[in-house]
Structure 1
């Protein structure tokens, strides 16, 4: 986005907010969840440090959003969070429907291939989700979502180098209750959601939630007639809670998601020789893909959480969990009826995690100490089919990970105003990688259905193992002159272990058998959190700077000499990231509220060493590389107004979010790199006086903006000049009715 366009977007958001202010005399913004988990005083309560505390008291950058707020504003899934939190990218991965891509302050992971670890961690009720497949969680049965920016690991779970997204579901309680919600919207969207809690005595409850989402495609496969960008998802959770006393809580929970939405093949952005089948389609949501329309993602999990109060100050907590998933998918990279550049694939993964915590909460000392264990296996395979050469390259492999960690984090109140805290984590990861890559003559390999394919050159065939360990600290100091202000400074070190490139080609890059190295980040932050005007205005301001070392970057480039695609995971060297964030929340009266966020990130490579350009000798190409998925500017603003109407409460919420220009990959690709854009949404709802009925209308992308969220770049005749893009949803409208009992 050019500066003038970005300025215009900011001004338009101000106009939108100003118009609401002008008409918002008798308004109230809060739902029963009290807006982002706010308490009676209007302050937000979070559990980012493993205990309930005011957001003002937390010396780290946290954004907290209640599930009711997300639902009221028509959030389809957790990717809507990128429109509300500064300096954040949270999107559906290119070519998929439920695979998550996450970046915070320039740190993340775009490549969702098995074996790669995310830079932004996702937690569902304190359970770390190791794989991005099936991680695009829909908004149902959720209490709140907390977004923690910067390295995490001294407080819980898996160490994550860029930040964490905590998805917290509702506890059952011991009262019979439930709700059903039905929605109908654009493109024949049908959503059916139901939740129920059944107490079986005073101490034991069972409950569950189920959600069914159906929607026609935004576009069409012009070759097969199938829906493109459609939705077909069934999800459910069931849990049982036992709380015999105030000091004991035990929960068993299970969840499952089945996503049978058609594959996303993208759309061609450039033509190839004037041939009609190779030209771009009229709609960015259409495709001419010929590989097929079968796609299925299935994930499930089981967890046991137990908390025991050992004394007034000590609590012991255990979190045991198992998750697995399977994906069958196809991607037509050329977007033509023929197998010019087709990739059928499957993924399998499973993980077991065990976490033990001891929490201490005294008058002046608070803290947590814990042990963490992860045993995971991620595997998969795919064919790279080049129809022009009648050849296929099969790639398959497995990564096994065992991770052991010990962590502790302690806070000490030096005085009532001055507080210090520090944490330390030790992590040891043992990884075993197996990679097999082979050429075949014929369309598809035997693994994907062509028994007649003629085997050729074995390009990669190895098994290797490596261990990585690191000690990572965190320290902070905060000064609170009063309960409504907090000045803080913090430092944290992040770590992500190395591994093995599942696409690695030992013919192109022989050093791939050695794997790639860990990456680290040193993150510094100073900030201010405060409440003003008798707690009617809340503000969070943060300045941050990070030193990124040995960043893991997946590079894929076409090789027109042999007709293959070279892949390598580079440890990029050094990068500097610095920026600022501003979050505002105003509640000037019980009739009006406003939220706004502004983020700026400047990310620059100081050294970028790559083997692709130099064979077996790394070459520094820092002046030709850019941070991906990291726009310099992000901004959002929303306001909610409500009034008494027809025996209930009517509310109206307009919202505007903006993102400036960004790079799709580390290498600038003008045909793919997304221009800046802004999205305008609006929601209106009516809630009955007894809170049993709720009728709402949600309008998203009112200006029908076409914005690119992913892409692939494989130019050249052998690849069908395959430059394709994936786009965010067009304008949609949804009407929903909810009944609570």
Structure 2
């Protein structure tokens, strides 16, 4: 829900500077907490506690974007995927064949494989609690005060595996008085969203908050084989919290959240005719599909169920002197049942389903210090997590591929049933700290470090079965091992910033990041013996130079130039294998390996220009130059033939905001937004068919606010030109299957939103 308790006529006068400061303000080590707005002439600032003390974003020497409820309303941000154009260097979308599993990259660093045992490169957090798995992490904006995007390694202050950056959801706090928020949205494809939240005192020093949300929409396409919908939405979420504040120094907060996703599988485009189909049907192969969502899936399992929940106990002490303390104890668990019909056709050529589970327990202790010249935080982080499951592969092969010379015999002669199962146990321990010391009134030195130790144990049993129900093993075992490995790492950070006059901040920093290694759950030790070996951790060394400047009371310009040295990059690649020994690839498995090393150069620019109360311009631009320095495949360095995935060279957004006072009726505020993203390879195989050319998008929002400010009516339009753009896909031709599919972003949608604050 969006909280507008302080809403007043002239919504745009307050919203635009706030949005610009939050969206365009580059700066923060850690995660900012918005407390208030501080006027500086024509522009207002967000005051944050990014480094555990209050300061404006223009004073903090690192890169961060923060959007609160009002900015999300005018920007049309309803889920994490909508943030992509609103934060520099960010790529985020729903994973292949799933609706609520997130794929996130920041500054070219991330991970697209969501299987258990594989670590994400961008940390996702819910109120300081790290979400170890990407399933269920593409959250809706339910009862969210703000969302923060931190760019670059964040380990000295925050969480685990934040080698590329971090994204954090911050829930609405509890007020001293009873507050009720209601919201609904009706839109294209029969969209029906409903949200409600209530915050109220329960007694002396005891407060509670409950929020519930239902998000439903018809499908963007249909399964023409069964008539069922695809790419629909049936997602339900809730959060409840109770907080005890015995005095001004202490608070104890117990919170529980849950997400249930019952959406159908995602629609996909068949981008090539499947030449295996005629051997099943006797008819010509289904042609390449001209619709980006419609499918012909014949696989019985079309489930996409996701259950994700967590409980957190947070104890906070704010001392009367220089010290403070916070303890965060959290438990999260999830269960995910997902299916992929790779060939998107009616026959059992390549159908895969599986169940994943995860369970994580974490504990974090933080000590904060704030003095006249020295400020900082240090602490201890521990996590114990188990993730596992099973993946069931069903491959059907025609006679022609098994016994040449019998091409005219219709029907599959060989059905291969492969099974991957097991679990990965992770125990992570980290000591971290980050201090800032004022050398002079205008110059400060920051020092930080994080010591990590990670222990992993993988139990893997991959084998073949003789029946479709996977009840009769056929004796063919492709992997059976129980292995463990440990890694240690120290990631330092050093920064220097200087206030050049009252309007300009200059800063420079060096930081390192670490992402855990692991084991390939899909290992095939028969055909690829080395797939049993653990892959190495990733490491990044990042150099950054930046400035933040208010060139006038109406114009702000911020920029950051960075260089990242990226080592032991973890990549997931589908590889063909010959399971029958006839010399032909008749199956495939997901290989997971360290590709080598790369370097990423980048420039981020953010600006805001507010010449009047009725018009303003804001936006951001990112230039990325990413290339491999080493990429060893089959003993040969092929770095010059490779390219980074999910890393557009150029991306930018231009927002035009307009405000129209309607006399005593209220205010009308509008935003027209144009964004562009350059060419990108979504997949590690660098498929030229799945490759997405540069594209642009238009979004617009109009918001009416009455004089009371107690409700808002917004009309939003997304992808107004109905641009067709792929977010990801599969190309399985190298594994012997003539299968190429593409998954697309949302089509043009319109929605009418009504929000009340009582």
- Which residue is equivalent to 1:181? 183
SS of alignment partner, residue 43 of structure 1: strand
2:575–2:591 CA contact under 8 A, matched in 1: no
- Which residue is equivalent to 2:715? 697
Q: Deviations over 1:107-163 (max 9, x none)?
A: 000111111111010111111111000000101211111111111111122242111
Change (3 A) 1:716 1:364: closer
Cα separation, 2, equivalents of 1:681 and 1:94: 24
Of 415, 418, 426, which residue of structure 2 is paired with 1:390?
Answer: 415
1:381–1:396 CA contact under 8 A, matched in 2: yes
Is 1:620 aligned to residue 620 of structure 2?
no
Q: Deviations over 1:575-617 (max 9, x none)?
A: 111010001123333333332100000000010123xxx2xxx
Cα separation, 2, equivalents of 1:367 and 1:318: 16
Of 593, 605, 611, which residue of structure 1 is paired with 2:616?
Answer: 593
Of 414, 420, 423, which residue of structure 1 is paired with 2:448?
Answer: 423
Is 1:351 aligned to residue 351 of structure 2?
no
Cα separation, 1, equivalents of 2:98 and 2:207: 37
Cα separation, 2, equivalents of 1:277 and 1:323: 46
- Which residue is equivalent to 1:13? none
Counterpart mapping for 1:232-251 below 5 A: 232-251=234-253
- Which residue is equivalent to 2:165? 163
Counterpart mapping for 1:561-580 below 5 A: 561-580=584-603
- Which residue is equivalent to 1:281? 289
SS of alignment partner, residue 706 of structure 1: coil
Is 1:252 aligned to residue 254 of structure 2?
yes
SS of alignment partner, residue 84 of structure 2: helix
Task: Give the alignment's TM-score, normalised by structure 2.
Answer: 0.90
Cα separation, 1, equivalents of 2:290 and 2:571: 34
Give the superposition deviation at 1:32.
10
Change (3 A) 1:706 1:262: same
Cα separation, 1, equivalents of 2:570 and 2:695: 28
Cα separation, 2, equivalents of 1:330 and 1:580: 40
Of 504, 508, 511, which residue of structure 1 is paired with 2:530?
Answer: 511
Counterpart mapping for 1:642-653 below 5 A: 642-645=659-662, 647-653=665-671
Is 1:408 aligned to residue 469 of structure 2?
no
Runs of at least 5 residues in structure 1 that lack an aligned partner in the other structure = 1-25
Cα separation, 2, equivalents of 1:510 and 1:690: 69
- Which residue is equivalent to 1:133? 135
Give the superposition deviation at 1:221.
0.7
Cα separation, 1, equivalents of 2:482 and 2:722: 49
Counterpart mapping for 1:624-643 below 5 A: 624-643=641-660
SS of alignment partner, residue 651 of structure 1: strand
- Which residue is equivalent to 1:502? 521
Runs of at least 5 residues in structure 2 that lack an aligned partner in the other structure = 1-9, 23-33, 398-413, 579-583
Q: Deviations over 1:390-425 (max 9, x none)?
A: 111101121100001101100001111111101011
SS of alignment partner, residue 298 of structure 2: coil
Deviates more, 1:63-72 or 1:395-404: 63-72
SS of alignment partner, residue 512 of structure 1: helix
- Which residue is equivalent to 2:194? 192
Change (3 A) 1:482 1:215: same
Q: Deviations over 1:368-397 (max 9, x none)?
A: 010000000110211121122311110112
Q: Deviations over 1:462-506 (max 9, x none)?
A: 010000000110000001023321100000011112110111111
Give the superposition deviation at 1:233.
0.5
Q: Deviations over 1:50-89 (max 9, x none)?
A: 3332111211111111122113332230111111112210
Change (3 A) 1:30 1:285: farther
Aligned residues: CA RMSD: 1.8
1:469–1:497 CA contact under 8 A, matched in 2: no
SS of alignment partner, residue 51 of structure 1: coil
Cα separation, 2, equivalents of 1:472 and 1:227: 48
Give the superposition deviation at 1:217.
0.4
Cα separation, 1, equivalents of 2:191 and 2:13: 27
Q: Deviations over 1:313-357 (max 9, x none)?
A: 110110111000000111000000111100011110011110000
Of 702, 717, 728, which residue of structure 2 is paired with 1:710?
Answer: 728
Of 545, 549, 565, which residue of structure 1 is paired with 2:563?
Answer: 545
Cα separation, 2, equivalents of 1:27 and 1:45: 19
Cα separation, 2, equivalents of 1:666 and 1:454: 33
- Which residue is equivalent to 1:654? 672
- Which residue is equivalent to 1:335? 344
Is 1:40 aligned to residue 24 of structure 2?
no
Give the superposition deviation at 1:31.
3.9
Give the superposition deviation at 1:265.
4.8
